Structure 1
Amino acid sequence: MSRSILKTLSKTLFNTDSFSAFVAPFNKALPHTSSDDFFAAKVTHIFDNNDEIFTLSLKVDSKFYFSPGQYVELLVEMNGRFIKRCFSISSSIEQLNKHNTIDLTIKKQISGKVTPWLRQNLALNTPVAISQAKGEFILKSKAKDMLFIASGSGITPFKSLLMSHLASGELKQVTLMYFERGEKHIFVKEFEQLAQNYPNFKLVKVNTAKQGRLSVALLNKYCDDFTNRNIHLCGSANMITDNTLLLLNSSVARTQIFSEQFTSIPIADLNLKQDRIINYLKSNKTVSQVKEEQNNLLSVSQSNDIKANYGCGIGICHECKCKKHSGIVFNTKTQTYSDNGEEDIQLCISIPVTHVSLGL
């Protein structure tokens, strides 16, 4: 059967672009073999960056490739079932080309089930699988000076970006403002070496316990021409939202701001009735919802002239399925909350609980 026929059949039956994507969670051989959507990999090294963060080095398939700033889905067998989680690649393109390895730097979620298990159970030569590289947190234009703003484990894609692009001579002036509580900054030696080797790179470590979070005062102190730069943000959902609003209110154009949410929000910590922002990535539109509004995402999209497919409106036909890139939604059909990362959702039965980014 031809690939085009298989794709059409898969789209009709399962509303996915490939059959392997549908069966992947059920295919017990997947961590040991490659498929159209996943590559076989194995653990070559694992070490602790600090008491909260560890780095996993993986030997990957020779066909695997990524652009600095992207992430992968890591697929592992955990207690008899397959689990997928998204992690940014923290290593350089040079490392991939020379050694066929990549690094995933992972924060252990204290109340999480998966990330602590990964650190405790993965060992040398453990077979895993990784997806094709995903995400749009890449440097689409290198012609302007840049400001990178990271908090917590949101630093990981910036390490890949800086180590890959500074050496190539592609970047102009780059300032990295790295926010972390106390002295828990990681990759400090690597960043300091980059600052020594490349005069166009400036590292600013911010101790939030002493200096606070991002503010106009800190921006003016460490990067006084920030309004003229392309600004990349990576961190928690609240960090992205708060800092984006701060930048917009400081005369930074939305077209200058690029972001990727990196950390998840435990369900137990959710404020289920809060003001929310729905970010439509393809339409380049942002919609605000006050906490009193509890409308599903299909009605929100239609009310704001966002083009979205739809059919039955009750969660049966899957015509309104779209990609949720980040944020948590409540499924009114299953009465469950989604994960915080990338996944397919049905707009007609999904109510935004946190800030949400959609592929519409």
Structure 2
Amino acid sequence: MANGYRPEIIQRAFVDFIGSRLHPFWSLTTPKLRLIARYTLSDNLIALRFETNRAFKQQTSEMMGGWQGGQYLDLRVCIDGVYHQRSYSIVGLAHQPLWWLDDATERHTADQRHTVTIAIKPQGLVSDYLTKQMPLASVVDTSLPLGNFTLEQTSILRQQISENKQPSPLLFIAGGSGITPMLGLITQALSNGHQVTLLHYSRTVSSKLQHQWQQLSDIYPDFIYYLIHTEDPTTYLAVTRYLSAEGLLSLNLPLADTQIFACGSQALLAGLYKAAAEITLPIDEQLRDKIIVENFGNALANVDNDSNQIFDKTIPVEEHTVYLRSRQRQFVSDTTILTAAENADIRLAYGCRQGICQLCRCNKVSGVVKNVQTGKVSGDGYESIQTCINIAMTDVVLDV
């Protein structure tokens, strides 16, 4: 027998199979969550707290030492015998007490159980089931924390770290339940010494969220927040309920050095890019290049590079051919690649269809695509793309 080869006498998969029959929460390899509590954060936002199993704790610790603010989990939920997969934002940071748990006993219990909490807006089959119907102590399979909507991915921050510069100002813009990935991000940014400004556009008032922002403001003098309630003119920036260039300028931030994180509907993101196009920065700089987005909703925005504006309407795109190299199939596309494939009765992998869960990501061999969320145009060579948020600008070859 060759040196170094140590066969498993009992396969881990077999042990997992037997263990899952004895107890559904037990697994050596599969991360699982067990529901232990629900909390109402606002009229349209529910937090679910889960106990994590040993596989989740071990793999999360080994890979990243926890998770970063802004990340999410893919949950695999069984409803009436059918499995559904959905993505939900993680609230807060690893080992960070939840701010709405005022009872000391509950805080201690949460810490002891190594919990993770997600936030959900009840608006569909899976979300309604999780927030209203799934019994406490139910077990679901989960991914490890995922997503690049984090502080570490920004070019400004990476440059400052390499050059040992002072942390840059950060501007967080959220619409409605788009605030959920911001909860951990903002806490992490403040603890790293950033000046942080928050704009939260919402139709409802949440006392729990307001309490959180006020607590952070009391602890960190460099944290400023604006809660814009769309039905209350006294809360508007620059006398308008919508995001505008005048509103951004009224914040008196050094926008040329500010990284912007935005999460919300397509209408909110369209307004942000339109406002960014109207603000002049030093030569060779555009404010839109300093924006990182995490979005929800399926409406497509029309990106017009000549005017640097995004309008909330259908995209007029020329037809191009998309080739699937591995399958030896092809189809014509004048919308997102995923939608065009489905129109041609070709099934591609997908999840959220919103550019969040990454399940549709594949490798582009050649051709140019445009991201419908950001308006950025790709190169012509080999790179990873998401089919649900990219449109073909030339003929495209995918390694699918």
TM-score scaled by structure 2?
0.62
| 1:53 alignment partner AA | L
1:334 aligns to 2:361 (yes or no): no
Residue matched to 1:128:
140
In structure 2, the residue matched to 1:190 is 212
The structural deviation recorded for 1:28 is 10
- The alpha-carbon deviation at position 330 of structure 1 amounts to 5.8
Displacement of 1:345 in angstroms is: 6.7
Change in CA separation of 1:313 and 1:80 when aligned onto 2, cut-off 3 Å = same
Match of 1:295 among 319, 333, 341: 319
Q: Note if 1:48 corresponds to 2:40.
A: yes
Partner amino acid for 2:228?
Answer: V
Tell me, yes or no, if the aligned pair for 1:70 and 1:134 is still in contact at 8 Å: yes
The answer to whether the Cα contact below 8 Å between 1:93 and 1:164 also exists between their aligned partners in 2 is: no
Q: Distance in 2 between matches of 1:297 and 1:135?
A: 30
Return the offset for 1:356.
5.7
Matches within 5 A, 1:111-190: 112-140=124-152, 141=157, 143-166=167-190, 168=191, 170-184=192-206, 187-190=209-212
Structure 1 residues 227 and 69, CA gap change in structure 2 (3 angstroms):
same
1:313 aligns with 2:324: no
Q: 1:80 to 1:330 in 2, by over 3 A?
A: same
Report what 1:260 is aligned to.
Answer: 294
Q: Report what 2:5 is aligned to.
A: none
Aligned counterpart in structure 2 of residue 217 of structure 1, from 243, 246, 260: 246
Q: Which of 372, 375, 378 lines up with 1:355 in the alignment?
A: 372
For the aligned residue pairs, the C-alpha RMSD in angstroms reads 4.0
Q: Distance in 2 between matches of 1:236 and 1:297?
A: 30
Aligned counterpart, 2:221: 199
What is the Cα deviation at residue 116 of structure 1? 1.3
Amino acid at match of 2:317: E
- Using the TM superposition, give the Cα deviation of residue 124 of structure 1 relative to its aligned residue in structure 2, in angstroms: 2.1
- Identity among equivalent pairs (%): 21
1:90 is matched by which residue type in structure 2? V
Decide whether the 8 Å contact of 1:43 with 1:58 is kept in 2. Answer: yes
Residues 48 and 335 (structure 1 numbering): CA distance in 2 closer, same or farther, change over 3 Å?
Answer: farther
Query: Relative to 1, partners in 2 of residues 1:139 and 1:121: Cα closer, same or farther, differing over 3 Å?
Result: same
1:104 aligns with 2:118: yes
Worse-superposed segment, 335-344 or 232-241: 335-344
Counting only pairs closer than 5 Å after superposition, residues 15-94 of structure 1 correspond to structure 2 as 32-34=25-27, 38-60=30-52, 61-63=56-58, 64=60, 65-94=66-95
Residue 246 of structure 1 deviates from its aligned partner by 2.2
Query: In terms of Rg, which structure is larger?
Result: 2
2:330 aligned counterpart, secondary structure: coil
- Structure 2 CA distance for aligned equivalents of residues 93 and 297 of structure 1: 45
Tell me how far 1:224 sits from its aligned partner.
Answer: 4.0
Gaps in structure 1 of 5+ consecutive residues: 1-19, 21-26, 280-285, 300-307, 316-323
Q: Which moved more, 1:238-247 or 1:128-137?
A: 238-247
Structure 2 residue corresponding to 1:237, chosen from 266, 273, 282: 266
Give the structure-1-normalised TM-score: 0.69
What is the identity, as a one-letter code, of the residue corresponding to 2:264? Answer: G
Deviation digits for residues 33-76 of structure 1, max 9, x if unmatched? Answer: 5576x511101111222232100011113223321111110111
Deviations 1:181-208 (A, max 9, x none): 2435761111110011000111111112
Q: Aligned partners of 2:186 and 2:111: how far apart in 1?
A: 18
Q: Deviations over 1:89-109 (max 9, x none)?
A: 112223389441111111111
Give per-residue Cα distances to partners, 1:323-350, cap 9 Å, x unaligned.
x9xx9666123388964243227889xx
Q: 1:344 aligns with which of 360, 364, 380?
A: 360
Q: How many angstroms apart in 1 are the aligned matches of 2:344 and 2:21?
A: 29
CA distance in 2, matches of 1:233, 1:192: 21
Partners of 1:133 and 1:29 in 2: CA distance: 27
Q: How many residues align?
A: 294
Unaligned runs of 5+ in 2: 1-12, 14-19, 61-65, 98-109, 161-166, 281-285, 332-336, 379-383, 386-400
Q: Is the 8 A contact 1:237 1:355 kept in 2?
A: no
Cα distance in 2, alignment partners of residues 335 and 185 from structure 1: 47
SS at match of 2:193: coil
> In structure 2, how many angstroms separate the alpha carbons of the residues matched to 1:345 and 1:29?
36
How far apart, CA to CA, are the structure 1 residues paired with 2:46 and 2:93?
A: 17
